[in-house]
Chain A
Amino acid sequence: MMNRTIAAIATAVSPSGVGIIRVSGDDAFTVIKRIFKKKSGHFVFENKEIESHVVTHGFIYDDSELIDEVLVLTMKGPHTYTGEDTVEIDCHGGVLVMKKILETVIKYGASPAEPGEFSKRAFLNGKMDLSQAESVIDLINSSNEFARENSLKHLSGVVKDKLSKIRAEILHEIAFIESALDDPEHYSLDTYPQELRKKVELFIKDTNSLLKNADNGRILKEGIKTVIVGKPNVGKSSFLNALIGEDRAIVTDVAGTTRDVLTETITFDGITLNIVDTAGIRDTDDFVEKIGVEKSKEYMKDADLILFLVDATSTFGKEDQEILNLLENKKSIVLLNKIDLGQSLSLEQVMEKVDHKVISISAKEQIGLDDFINEVKQLFFHGEVTFNDEVYITGVRQKQCLISCYQSLTQVLNSIDQGMPEDFFSIDLMNAYTELGNITGESVGEDLVNEIFSKFCMGK
């Protein structure tokens, strides 16, 4: 546990020019050796003793794929933050590049850092003052809390369902094998390996599709699913454009996430909003359909956050009331737009009508956007987004779990094909089961014993 080499994004994820990926542990140098090349394509540290506290220029590669031009700082323990061998990769920033480098580092031998793990190691290795113990403990707790909340929040319902389905099926197979091992005169495994083979192939297929989707960013959603609603011409598109236009926004194009609407992924100060733009819904004469109530309803059901735009130059009318009724208990923010154009509807008037937070903005003049962002932080992170890299590393950790699950399942197939005894299958199946549980933060506990006893009849 303490020996793993760990990696994480060390800087806050922001659009600022540089991002740092930090790798710490016994294998930190081994990992960088495998992915760090010169322009010529030769490995930078091939046949070369790595020097301490030296900066080297080069390129990060995943095999033949160039990821980014970087500066690599290599530091030998114990004169490092954690006291261990440490590598810091200074890259060009940007969410995607940082994530990709982190994933590459993990692919080549590091593990995603646990919440607060760098500081924990620094402390345990005597690199921190005694007085800092409590702040380290706080850090562990708060980032863990954050990770725990987010690991679930950032998983779409479909993925969660799929995960628990595969997981339940795997558990059932393990329980069957174990029941047969426990009570061999009762349960026979004679033709079982070939049956299991077919099932494992399906598990692998499912795991693979989850993995592919993780790559597309479709599934591990890593953001707050946001829907903008409001009557026509209230300024939904201009608000979206204003957000995109904010110079600190990082916009990722994930076109085609759903068929008929555009999703914009926008990151501010470490908070990612996946905004479904319902503006694209076709117009009809029917008002209800015009504002896309039916469609919106669907999106709103799934959404983590609803942004309800109200026109400050008009009155709070019947249409607004209808939309308001749809908000129900969802996390919502009411935005009173166009306050630059002679206000006829005041903030107070709107506040009287709604239970949600109301913010005055002007999409056109970029007024009130800060208030809006702060409110999102308030709503989702209780005002603190200190550990924003957790969002990213949570995604990376989850992906790593899927990869490990996939590897364990493949090992089951190998074992079946090599004619290994059945008891070996359940060892790898159990690993796969555990890894899938790690994605949603479920520990194994007494799951297996419970499954055996509830599904298989045992005993004298």
Chain B
Amino acid sequence: MNVIEEQYDVVVVGAGHAGCEAALACARLGLETIIFTVSVESIAMMPCNPNIGGSSKGHLVKEVDALGGEMGINIDHTFIQSKMLNKSKGPAVHSLRAQADKNEYSKRMRQTLENTEHLTIRQAEVTDLIVEKSSIQGVKTLSGATYYAKAVVLCTGTYLKSRCLYGEVIEHTGPNGLRSANYLSDSLKKNGVEMYRFKTGTPARIDKNSIDFSKMEEQFGDERIVPFSFTTNPDDIQIDQESCWLTYTNEQTHSIIRENLDRSPMFSGVIEGTGPRYCPSIEDKVVRFADKNRHQVFIEPEGNGTNEMYIGGMSSSLPEDVQYDMYHSVPGLEHAKIVRNAYAIEYDCINPNQLLPSLEFKNIHGLFSGGQFNGSSGYEEAACQGLIAGINASRMIQKKDPIILDRSQAYIGVLIDDLVTKESHEPYRMMTSRAEYRLILRQDNADLRLSKIGYEVGLISKERYDWVCYKEKEIAKEIERVTSVTVGAKKEVQALLESLNSTPLKTATSLAELIRRPELNYDVLKSIDVNRPELHPEITEQVNILIKYDGYISRQMKQVKDFKKLENKKLPQNFDYNTIPSLRIEAIQKLNQLQPISIGQASRISGVSPADISVILVYMEQAYRNNKDNKGE
């Protein structure tokens, strides 16, 4: 038979935000990599909102960048508006969000893939996994071609057995009318993988020329644009920005929706999948928040090369005619022409509890996965998982230990730990409140936290790493200096304080003490700080934050120390917890299913109590000592 058979190091299935990061990481680490997509035009496509970042998602992008991923650089080259959210709040929750030119974003990522050595792009539907003795061997495509590989990374997004719905219309396609992948789910099930069915949705796209913007509030970008990537020079990206627009739904909109609820597949029961509570459709909002008489609607451009506008806040699966009425009831959209309907999409994904924190399947050696396939949602959540899955697939092949970020190191660590440890029945979205050490996990220090790992992995350059090391040293030096330098109650000091509405000094005090005052900061004290060295703004920013919030930060550092102790107590894999006497049945079931890698992870499993943890600790110590005794004999 004349069928194609090829051999690669890594096969990546899917070329969305997860797949692109996974493939780039593997290829950049020197592994022969092939990436499959059902459509080359859809590489790094943004099928929903036209932006990257936002609260806590911005953190993820910065972390991806610090580890050597592509997303940050890609958006820095293709954004049309940028905004730092929460600027008036603490540094831990500052979050960068950029509106993307969707086509440009996708095009630039595609070119990056195309121009990366060791990386092959292939348009084909992967239909089967080849697994032997619980170890991945490769994949088969629809044509019967076989691609052997040492590792496979699944990043199938929302394409598995997907169907798009609005009203009574059901289309068996992936997002945007792209073909769905209808075979891989069965192959996964055959290999014992537990599947979930999730759903999400997207609003309509409307022709810009049919919108009356005079009835809406204009939303501008920031005056000074901050890049996502630590490698982007801010001066290079101060562009002319596009605006977004804000309008609102009203009682009329809501009554149109209410009157037609029975025609929504969500409410009629046609949709089986579980939708995300944080991203409700407009009909969900109207039903669940019945007391609200209006909801925000953000009109966002999809890019410079198109007139399509994204109607943020009004995703829906109502029938086409109801969508028209509903959108037309919104001020400014009275004569709106719909280019693409809003729709809900249902798809297969996995129960991510089947994964190790390295994102490798526990039961199929060499099989990794990332993105919406893992039950998450969002481009950024996808990208960071793709990156980690790609890095760890490479490291498995190179026989190195996997990179596992813990909850005190990165939002990525929180996200992956939540996915693989906790029970979830809806697409998972990152939120700052999920990070218990968020004062340490700031977007401004992602490079300080993660560059070392990015460098050791081999995805960031020596030059870039050296700069971070230099920064770190200078920050420490400068903190020490401002802590030890005191200023007296001199005339110019009092004058400065007075001009800044700050209480004058009674006795001499350290510069650090002054920086801690809420109305002051590092920069404004320049004139009274005579021996201040000339330092890069990235350094002084850190000095300011670390001194200002020192009390809180050191409290969290202490908590992290305790946390690390439990993370470092490793547990054996494929262990039968039935053998530990007197663990409670619920705990045994959960532990056997999840096979946590550490006491720390075990303690976060719902249904495992602190007493269970104590019992495991005692048992493990016993086993350890037994083992030692036996070896001694």
Whether the pair A137, B433 counts as a contact (CB closer than 8 A) is no
Interface residues of B in 574-633 (CB under 8 A from A): 580-582, 606, 609-611, 614-615, 617-619, 621-622, 625-626, 629
- Residue in chain A with minimal CB distance to B599: A1
Q: Report if A183-B313 is in contact (Cβ < 8 Å); known contacts: A130-B625, A419-B518.
A: no
Interface residues of A in 164-210 (CB under 8 A from B): 174, 178, 181-186, 189
Query: Does residue A317 face the partner (Cβ distance < 8 Å to B)?
Result: no
Whether the pair A181, B89 counts as a contact (CB closer than 8 A) is yes
- Which of A130, A184, A424 is B86 in contact with, Cβ under 8 Å? A184
The distance in angstroms between the C-alpha atoms of A63 and B139, with both chains bound, is 73
Contact flags B84-115 to A (C-beta < 8 A → 1, else 0)? 01101110110000000000000000000000
- Residue in chain B with minimal CB distance to A457: B289
- Which of chain A's residues have a CB closer than 8 A to the CB of B89? 181, 184, 189, 421-423
Query: Does residue A144 face the partner (Cβ distance < 8 Å to B)?
Result: yes
Whether the pair A420, B562 counts as a contact (CB closer than 8 A) is no
Which of the candidate stretches A33-41, A228-236, A254-262, A444-452 sits at the interface with the other chain?
Answer: A444-452
The distance in angstroms between the C-alpha atoms of A246 and B520, with both chains bound, is 69
Query: Does residue A426 face the partner (Cβ distance < 8 Å to B)?
Result: yes
Whether the pair B621, A137 counts as a contact (CB closer than 8 A) is no
Whether the pair A3, B562 counts as a contact (CB closer than 8 A) is yes
- Residue in chain A with minimal CB distance to B626: A130
Whether the pair B606, A445 counts as a contact (CB closer than 8 A) is yes
- Which of chain B's residues have a CB closer than 8 A to the CB of A178? 431-433
Q: Report if A182-B432 is in contact (Cβ < 8 Å); known contacts: A141-B611, A424-B552.
A: yes
Whether the pair A137, B582 counts as a contact (CB closer than 8 A) is yes
- Which of chain A's residues have a CB closer than 8 A to the CB of B288? 457
Q: Report if A423-B518 is in contact (Cβ < 8 Å); known contacts: A124-B617, A130-B626, A144-B611.
A: no
- Residue in chain A with minimal CB distance to B625: A130
Query: Does residue B179 face the partner (Cβ distance < 8 Å to A)?
Result: no
The distance in angstroms between the C-alpha atoms of A141 and B422, with both chains bound, is 24
Which of the candidate stretches B129-137, B275-283, B382-390 sits at the interface with the other chain?
Answer: B275-283
- Which of chain B's residues have a CB closer than 8 A to the CB of A140? 611, 614-615, 618
- Which of chain B's residues have a CB closer than 8 A to the CB of A185? 85, 219, 246, 296, 298
Whether the pair B55, A181 counts as a contact (CB closer than 8 A) is yes
Query: Does residue A108 face the partner (Cβ distance < 8 Å to B)?
Result: no
The distance in angstroms between the C-alpha atoms of A460 and B93, with both chains bound, is 19
Interface residues of A in 432-460 (CB under 8 A from B): 445-446, 448-449, 452-454, 457-460
Which of the candidate stretches A66-74, A114-122, A326-334, A379-387 sits at the interface with the other chain?
Answer: A114-122
Q: Report if A452-B433 is in contact (Cβ < 8 Å); known contacts: A183-B55, A186-B296.
A: yes
- Which of A3, A137, A174, A419 is B618 in contact with, Cβ under 8 Å? A137
A-B pairs with beta carbons under 8 A, tally: 137
Interface size on B, residues (CB 8 A): 60
Whether the pair B289, A181 counts as a contact (CB closer than 8 A) is no
Query: Does residue A401 face the partner (Cβ distance < 8 Å to B)?
Result: no
Query: Does residue B550 face the partner (Cβ distance < 8 Å to A)?
Result: no
Interface residues of A in 109-167 (CB under 8 A from B): 114-117, 120, 123-124, 126, 130, 133-134, 136-138, 140-141, 144-145
Whether the pair B433, A184 counts as a contact (CB closer than 8 A) is no
- Which of chain B's residues have a CB closer than 8 A to the CB of A120? 614, 617-618
- Residue in chain B with minimal CB distance to A448: B433
The distance in angstroms between the C-alpha atoms of A420 and B439, with both chains bound, is 13
- Which of A1, A134, A445 is B581 in contact with, Cβ under 8 Å? A134
Query: Does residue B315 face the partner (Cβ distance < 8 Å to A)?
Result: yes
Determine which residue in B49, B280, B431, B434 has the highest number of CB atoms from chain A within 10 A of its CB, and name it.
B431
The distance in angstroms between the C-alpha atoms of A381 and B86, with both chains bound, is 54
Residues of B near any A CB (own CB < 8 A): 48-49, 55-56, 85-86, 88-90, 92-93, 203, 219, 246, 276-280, 285, 288-289, 292, 295-296, 298, 312-313, 315, 422, 431-434, 438-439, 518-519, 549, 552, 562, 565-566, 580-582, 606, 609-611, 614-615, 617-619, 621-622, 625-626, 629
Sorted nearest first, the 9 A-B pairs with minimum C-beta distance are A421-B90, A144-B611, A419-B518, A453-B277, A459-B279, A133-B622, A178-B433, A421-B89, A423-B90
Provide 26 A-B residue pairs closer than 8 Å at the C-beta atoms, listed in order of the A residue: A3-B562, A3-B565, A120-B617, A123-B622, A124-B618, A133-B619, A140-B611, A140-B618, A141-B582, A178-B432, A178-B433, A181-B55, A182-B56, A185-B246, A419-B518, A420-B518, A422-B90, A423-B432, A424-B90, A426-B433, A449-B433, A453-B278, A457-B289, A459-B313, A460-B48, A460-B298
Residues of A near any B CB (own CB < 8 A): 1-3, 114-117, 120, 123-124, 126, 130, 133-134, 136-138, 140-141, 144-145, 174, 178, 181-186, 189, 418-424, 426-427, 445-446, 448-449, 452-454, 457-460
